[in-house]
Amino acid sequence: MAGINIGQVNFSKGVLSKDLHGRVDIASYQAGMKSGVNVVLTKRGGFQNRMGTRFVYRLPGPGRLFPFAYSLDQPYALVFTQGAMRPMAFGGMVLEEELQIENITNENPATVTIAYHGYAVGDQFLPRGVVGMSEINERVLTILSVIDDNNFTVDVDASAFGAFTSATGGITRFAAAPPPPPDPVVPPVVEPPPPPVTGGGGRRGRYEQIV
């Protein structure tokens, strides 16, 4: 049997089911593809290579992403977890105001010096712009203990890192920042009610009207 040449006008129908691979008589055949791996369909009917992925942030538990567009130039992704919400933008997490790092010790755990940091145990800390101890840059660290208003320890062994010399970026506080608002009260998870008790049905499963 001679082959049949079918004009492929676009790919707006996406990947076709196997049941349609031989249906040259339908319009979807001329606007579909047999398979599409790592591609994204465009609104004009073409397709392009799908962008790659990279690790951005480790969530503390299960969560869901919701898109939020403040404007055409300010798209966000809101990450909802149990009792918390974290905004993301431009491929990363939205951070608080960057503070000037004054010193990081070569200890296990490492002690970080930041004037009037205002952090608490369990907060996360992202050092960047550190000179000398470059191994610690761009690591999401958790604060283990707060020594005083200017010092805290983080969960990293910096004993084998280079010596801290300086850090670029950030501001220096000269007074304590105002306290953050209290955490919202998260109600407990409500279990679904049990299914209702059913029965009856009349003769042979039919309901009968009683007069």
Buried/exposed code over 74-103 (b: 16+ C-beta within 10 A; e: otherwise): eeebebeeeeeeeebeeeeeeeeeebbbbe
Q: Residue 191's CB: how many other CB atoms inside 10 A?
A: 6
Residue 48 CA to residue 51 CA, distance in Å, equals: 9
Residue 26 CA to residue 20 CA, distance in Å, equals: 9
Is 206 a domain residue? no
Is 152 a domain residue? yes
Look over the chain and give the mean of its residue pLDDT values, rounded to a whole number.
Answer: 85
Residue 116, domain extent: 103-167
Query: Is a pLDDT exceeding 80 seen at residue 180?
Result: no
Residues 137 and 83 in one domain: no
The pLDDT, as a whole number, for residue 107 is 93
Residues 119 and 148 in one domain: yes
Say what percent of the chain tops pLDDT 90: 34
Is 145 a domain residue? yes
**CATH code, 126:** 2.40.30.180
Domain total of the chain? 3
Is 56 a domain residue? no
Residue 173 CA to residue 87 CA, distance in Å, equals: 25
Residue 211 CA to residue 14 CA, distance in Å, equals: 59
Residues 110 and 154 in one domain: yes
Query: What mean pLDDT is predicted for residues 44-57?
Result: 79
Is 126 a domain residue? yes
Read off the pLDDT band of 160 (50, 70, 90).
Answer: very high
Asked if residue 109 has a cis previous peptide bond (ω within 30° of 0), the answer is: yes
